[in-house]
Amino acid sequence: MSLVFDTEAGLVVLSGWGHSGIINTLEQARNTIRQAPIHAAIGGFHLFDSSDETLSWTAGKLREFSLANFVGAHCTGIEAVGAAFNLATGIQPGRLAR
């Protein structure tokens, strides 16, 4: 389940567990609300065990939506949003974050 906010900056999508897939969810939001850029996607997106091919495809689709802000939660996976984390330097960008 997701909640969509229609803002001047674009759509903001707050997702619980993203079992439907982040791309399916964003496409549904744009088809239902309006064809706007995605200003932010926040939530758990079930990408933790995705292949490199799936992550590359997903990153490409997120670029098509003009995604400005991405905050992956519990089931998104560090491999999807960042390859490493340390307190001194923070998250080192992964495939979706680049």
**DSSP 8-state code for residue 65:** T
What is the radius of gyration, based on Cα positions, of the chain?
13
- 36 vs 54: CA distance, rounded Å: 24
Q: What is the pLDDT of residue 83?
A: 63
pTM: 0.77
pLDDT given at position 73: 78
Place of tokens 């992956």: 72
Closest among 32, 34, 95 to 63, alpha carbons compared: 95
Single-letter residue type at 32: T
pLDDT tens for 57-95 read: 998 999 999 999 888 877 776 666 666 666 777 767 766
Give the DSSP letter of residue 50. -
Give pLDDT tens digits for 11-65: 999 988 767 889 999 999 999 999 999 999 988 888 888 888 998 899 899 999 9
Domain regions of the chain by residue span: 2-93
Backbone CA torsion sign across 37, 42, 81, 77: negative
Alpha helices per DSSP H over the chain: 22-32, 52-64, 78-81
